[in-house]
């Protein structure tokens, strides 16, 4: 009888561990990018849900001639909490759902008279016509989300944050990304200004 030998020697085990470590180091950026893309897509879906609640409330208000059921910019709402309170009070959305939807979004003061390309909501890391900041919450400069009044939404890359990503064509930028509430066609200015509902 021969003495039994171990299945792996120490050297073989170390080599296998080094190979696994190298694979993990090489795959880590792809893994983190996939997680960010997942979160951007989730934020876009949350924005669409929020848009649908706001759209239902605004169309119900138009059908019933009820001025308390309107787009955020159609009545003197001073804060995000006040507008969201109306969505909850009128049962267009549940509080827990609203909290999930707003985890990474901000809402703009869209009016019923604004065109369909007007921005309804955007991820909190995006300031209109401004380069993305790598330290901005929640996505830094990995990308941003925009939901327009027409209901369409998209995930965009950092080079699309300003008209420079559209050959400095302001009208194309407004058509692709969207326009701020009350903006003039072809005129783009950096910053959200007073067009965003302020948080609490």
Look at residue 27 in the predicted model and tell me its pLDDT: 83
DSSP string, 37-56: HHHHHHHHHHHHHHHHHHHH
Look at residue 140 in the predicted model and tell me its pLDDT: 93
Task: Please give the Cα distance from 95 to 110 (Å, whole number).
Answer: 22
Look at residue 9 in the predicted model and tell me its pLDDT: 85
List pLDDT tens digits, range 88-127.
999 999 999 999 999 899 999 999 999 999 999 999 999 9
Look at residue 5 in the predicted model and tell me its pLDDT: 62
Q: 129 in helix, strand or coil? A: coil
Structural contact between residues 145 and 153, judged by C-beta atoms closer than 8 angstroms: yes
Ranges of residues in the chain with a pLDDT under 70 are: 1-7, 199-200
Structure token pair of residue 169: 């064509």
């Amino acid at each position: 009888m021969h003495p039994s030998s171990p299945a792996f020697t120490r050297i073989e085990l170390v080599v296998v561990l080094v190979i696994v470590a190298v694979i993990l180091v090489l795959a880590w950026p792809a893994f983190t990018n996939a997680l960010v893309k997942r979160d951007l897509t989730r934020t876009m879906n949350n924005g669409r849900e929020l848009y649908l609640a706001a759209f239902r409330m605004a169309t119900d208000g138009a059908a019933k001639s009820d001025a308390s059921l309107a787009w955020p910019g159609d009545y003197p709402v001073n804060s995000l909490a006040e507008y969201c309170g109306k969505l909850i009070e009128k049962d267009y959305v549940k509080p827990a759902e609203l909290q999930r939807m707003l985890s990474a979004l901000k809402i703009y003061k869209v009016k019923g008279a604004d065109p369909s390309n007007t921005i309804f909501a955007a991820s909190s890391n995006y300031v209109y016509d401004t380069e993305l900041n790598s330290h901005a919450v929640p996505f830094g400069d990995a990308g941003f989300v925009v939901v327009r009044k027409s209901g369409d939404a998209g995930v965009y890359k950092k080079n699309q944050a300003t008209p420079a990503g559209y050959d400095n064509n302001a009208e194309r930028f407004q058509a692709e990304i969207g326009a701020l509430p009350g903006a003039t066609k072809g005129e783009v200015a950096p910053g959200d200004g007073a067009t965003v509902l302020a948080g609490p």
